[in-house]
Every structure is written in structure tokens, then in C-alpha cells.
Chain A
């Protein structure tokens, strides 16, 4: 009999444990008290918030993705996502700091040797060092396998040449995971290898930092590699394993973006609801008009649905579900679309006030858009899901 759902790996009917709730509440308190007051300014200045990075480091939040034996807290995917969600509810840029720390370090977690983990994890777990994930290139976005950056073996080193574009935190990271072609003749998905580049380094340059629609405090960089030498000991996994490492990374990191999206949506929902309670027109609060109340109801339902799917996806992925890619893609697809819809409606509820920067919803709407674009566009997510449904073409 064909299963109606594959949601079966994780134990028991799903609920957040007391530990998850404590963790979520601890981050929420921090987000409300220390992060939220900074959010508007971060967006306005477009500067990377060092103070927020310091805050996350001091409170061990950046230690969540790392194993305890390397100074981390050994958090599972759900714990990390709960933290990203709470931070993003206050400030999408700050939530991204944790999400990118997880994204960048996943290749090491998945394919690094014990020695490599020993070398890099302590600095990352303490928050002293930041890590970035450099896969995308000017000519290789959705088609990541078409990367052109090369890594040529030379004695005990590899020499990297090329460029990467749209790299989150690429200009503030201390470590950059670079995917480069080691064998141009190999089949498509075996051409790439993954390397950890320690920055600063001769031959490494940040050539551009983008001016973006949203998440303006997160520097999105173009990186150039010219005769950049990297020791072979910094290669992750085998030659040719790069593509596989990248895909397995995204399977685990996409929930982080879904968490950011759910957080943004929640923040927008709360702002819109508070406004609808206070604002009076025609002698009553506008939330009591059905057209407005109906919008808020939809926003709430969509956010909650995205949230529950995200939490479920996290526990299924952590429990080793064989269709982890599908869970990962689904939660990111649903959450990203929800965030865009909810934030757009939030602006609508506030009317003219929603359009000006005196209120946070216009920023949230600008922030939400990226969740439909990075770590795989919504269209890519759909391809992943369809492929799981239909199986391979004959």
C-alpha cells in the first residue's frame, strides 16, 4: 500500500520539547531586548552589525551548529532553526548571521576529517570566526554545476582561479568554502571539489559588495581568486566530491532559510496586528473590519502552516529520512512564499504608513524577497520536489 505521507521517521506525535521551548524563549528574550532595537538602523546604514555578531557569540548562539567536542552546543537542526526564527522575527540580517554560519560549516561537518573539524570548528563555535559558502558564480546560479572557477593541483597545494558572486557575508568571513573545478573532463556532477580558504590570503580579493533590496546589513560579496594557493589539507572530501557536498549541504541548510522566512513573516504579522488593534477609522479599530481581519487571519494561518512544516522537516531530516531533499525543499518553498505574501499584506494593512520607514513592515517586505531566491530559487525547489514525486525520467 502506498504511503500517504512519508512523515514517519521522527518519533511520536510532534511537539516541541521543554528544551526546545527553553531555547526558543531564551533567544526570543535576547531578540526582543537587544536585537529588535537595532533592526531599523542596520537596514538604514547597510553596515554589517558587528555588535550583533558579538551578541550572538557571547550568548553561545553561534555555537549551536557545532559538536560539543569542538566547543559547540551540539544543537540539532530544529534547535538551530528555532534560534534563526526568533532572531529573524526581530531582524532578518541578524538571523542570517546564524544561518550562514550553519550553511558555511555544513560542508566541513559532512565531509571534513576529524583533523579539519578540530582545526576550524572551535573558532567558528566561539563566534570568533565567521564562515561563508561560495558556490554561485556570475555564470552559474541555478545551474551551479556550470561553475568555472578552477583549482589546479600543484605539489602540496591547489591553485584557485576564478570568481564567485552573491556570497553572503563573503566580505566579513574568515573562512570561505570555495567550490572549484578540479577535473574539467569529468561528468557534470564530478567536476567540482570543495576547499576551505583561510582569509586574508594572497590572491583573495573582495571585488564588490552589492546594494540590495533587503537584508541590507548582510554583506553580499563578489570574490576574486587569482593564483590563490590553498594547501591540499584544506580540501574537503575527495576530488570530485564537491557537487555532492554542495547538494547535501543545501539539503540541511534550506530549513535555515525557511526559519528566517517564518521569522520575518511572524514579525510582520505581529506588527500588522498591533496596528490593526490601535488604528481607528470610521469609529472602530480597523482590525474589526472584515476585509482587514480576513487578511490578518490568512497571514496567521500561512505563517503557522509554514512554521509547522519547517519543524516537521527538521525532525524528519535529523531522523535520517531518505527523502530529506524533498522535506528541505518543501519547507523552504512554503516558507519563502508565505513570507512574501504575509509581508506584502502587512504593508497593505498599514496602508500609507506601511510604505514609509517609520514602520518596520516595508523593511520586512524587502527582506522577505530574498527567501524566494537564495539557497535555490523557488523554481529549483519545485524541481527537487517534482523529481522526488515522479522519480527519474525513463
Chain B
């Protein structure tokens, strides 16, 4: 079974170094990049599936600046088979529309049974790319997966989709595109063997020309949205520290709630 996992390098949320350049693009030089958190869950699921099947490939597909191979290493160290990196200077500053087009075009060059994506990313949390890619590629779209059960022989896949009241169980023929959540299971820590093996795994690069996409239609020039302002969030104000005994502390909490008309 071949599973393509869409992964995105994002600024490390723990680093605190994220900031924007004057033109509104993320200053990628200022913060180390890591694999997007949600992508790790779907990657873990993909790895578990091919391990259970005893055969198969997990292929990472990333659209990112040229330095991305460093973040792909961790995913390869976890056990992915190989990586495909779409990179091109003209891509810088691309919005969700361009990203969706580029990823869809890249998918058309690959053979696969399933495509996995994280439901959203920690650096924009738009959650619109996966459904967009499904629409452009015409793949059946199964989202917010808490579980994924492929039946390779029957060429079908079943997904438990998280809804407001519980789950919908969806079924689609393969190939299909599935967006997944944390509920798919904790990502493994790469083993030493995996870490060392990653160095010799293949990462192929593709440019916009390879995908037949005109550079001026993507990137900052082709963007459909633009950042018009940015500012730090409003300071919250001083924290009141209450060290009194429980009864008195409870009275103070209630007083604050009343003061703010919450109760």
C-alpha cells in the first residue's frame, strides 16, 4: 500500500522566535522549523498501517523552502520511506489557494492508495488546504478522522469522523484523501536505527516548472490575501495572586466573577 503524507514545516511553537517580515511573510530564518504537530499523527497512522500490512511505502510530500530537508529528516527517521519536496523561490509567500494548487499538481505526479493530511497547521491553522486538494484532485474526501481502516483487497477505506455529537463512519473507494486528528495516536519517537537510516533515504525535489505551474500565479505576487497589519496581543493586566484559605479564596473568585458580570 502506498500512502502519501502531506507534511508542512512550521516554526517551532516552543521556540518563541516567530515573526513576520515587512511584506507580511513569515521570517523563516528567525525560528527553527519542525514538522507540523498534526501531521505527525497522520504520519504515525500511515507508518502503523504499512507495518501491519508488512509491506508498502510512506511518501512525504512537502511544499517548502529549500532548507526543508532538515525537517523531513525527522519524519524519515520515524520510518517514512522517502520524501518529495516541492520547492521553488517563486513559491515564497504563497497563500492557501496557491498551496492547494501546487500540492494537487504534485499529487498528480505520484501513485498512491491514500493521501493523509493533518487537519490544520500550528502556524496558520486554516484547515482549508486538505479539502481544497481533494476538490482539485477529485479524490473522495474523509475528514477529521479518529480512526482509519483500509481494506486493500476490497480497495476501500473506512474512517470514523469526529462530529459534534460523536462520530460518522464514512466509507470510500481508494484512492482517497483523509485528514486526521490527534485521536489517531501518539507519534513514535524515532529510534536510533531510524535516525541513522534517515540519512540515506531519498528526497526528490520538484520545481514549479516540473509541475507546469507559472511562477507569477503563485507566491506573493499571486496571493489572494495579504497581511495589512500586525501587532502583539493586548497585555492582559496584572495577575492577582490569592494565597488565602480555600473558603476565603472561593469568596474572592466569586467576587471577581460578579464584578465581571459572569455570574
Contacts and interface: CB of A to CB of B under 8 A. Distances in A.
A–B: direct contact at CB < 8 Å: yes
* Residues of B contacting A: mostly: helix
B192 A64 contact: yes
A75 B193 CA distance: 10
A22 interface: yes
Interface stretch (A55-63, A143-151, A191-199, A347-355): A55-63
Most buried by A among B193, B195, B198, B199: B195
B189 interface: yes
Contact of A18 (B71, B191, B192, B196): B71
A386 interface: no
Interface residues of A, number: 19
A22 B190 contact: yes
Contacts of B190: 22, 26
Given A18-B70, A22-B73, A22-B74, A59 B199 contact: no
B10 to A, nearest CB: 15
Contacts of A64: 192
Contact of B73 (A19, A25, A61): A19
Contacts, number: 43
Interface string B42-83: 000000000000000000000000000011011001000000
Contact of B193 (A17, A18, A19, A73): A73
B189 A60 contact: no
A29 to B, nearest CB: 6
Interface residues of B, number: 14
Contact of A26 (B70, B71, B189, B198): B189
A60 B192 contact: yes
A19 B192 contact: no
A250 B145 CA distance: 55
A26 B195 contact: yes
Contacts of B199: 19
Contact of B192 (A17, A26, A68): A26
Interface of A: 17-19, 22-23, 25-27, 29, 59-61, 63-64, 68, 73-75, 79
8 A-B pairs with least C-beta separation: A73-B196, A60-B192, A18-B70, A22-B195, A60-B193, A18-B73, A23-B195, A22-B190
7 contacts: A19-B196, A19-B198, A22-B74, A23-B192, A26-B191, A29-B189, A63-B192
